[in-house]
Amino acid sequence: QVQLVESGGGLVQAGGSLRLSCAASGRTFSGYGMGWFRQAPGKEREFVAVISWSGYSTYYADSVKGRFTISRDNAKNTVHLLMNSLKPEDTAVYYCAASSNRYVNTGTRRSDFGSWGQGTQVTVSS
């Protein structure tokens, strides 16, 4: 298992930007596909973006495509989520997750992500 700690959340106005970071420790970071998920109050946790072990392949939810960018630095054991043009509907707790499936994609089930961070709150005001 890998341990994950998110940071970078906060309060931002609509149209603004935030960059979330997730620091990993424990097992070999490059052995994991990584993902970001989010959960708004009263809603189920939903997929936001995933990135393969190499960083070569990335996939996004339609709701964030063109606005969010996922990236990773295997030398620093980190994964990032750059969020631009934020909207009030992006308000949620954002979670970083790791999967032993190195080639994660939009078909990877949430249950395939075995390690989760504690989450970081993102609030977008209108």
> For 3-7, 23-27, 96-100, which range has the lowest pLDDT when averaged over its residues?
23-27
Residue 68: what residue type?
F
Note the pLDDT of residue 106. 85
- The residue among 2, 57, 56 whose CA lies nearest residue 28 is 2
Q: What is the pLDDT of residue 1?
A: 81
| pLDDT per residue as tens digits for the range 78-96 | 999 999 999 999 999 999 9
What DSSP designation does 65 have? T
Max CA separation in the chain (angstroms): 41
pLDDT, tens digit, 9 for 90 and up, residues 58-82: 999 999 999 999 999 999 999 999 9
DSSP 8-state secondary structure symbol assigned to residue 43: S
Instruction: Give me the DSSP letters along 86-111.
Output: --GGG-EEEEEEEES-TT--TTS-GG
What local confidence, expressed as pLDDT, does residue 40 receive?
A: 97
Answer yes or no: are the C-beta atoms of 22 and 117 closer than 8 Å.
Answer: yes
Q: What is the pLDDT of residues 29-62, one digit of tens each?
A: 999 999 999 999 999 999 999 999 999 999 999 9
**Mean pLDDT over residues 100-108, rounded?**
89
Question: Looking at 8-125, which runs of residues are DSSP E strands?
Answer: 10-13, 18-26, 33-39, 46-51, 58-60, 68-73, 78-83, 92-99, 113-116, 120-125
Cβ count within 10 A of residue 78:
17
pLDDT for the residue numbered 27: 75
What value does the mean pLDDT take over residues 106-112?
88
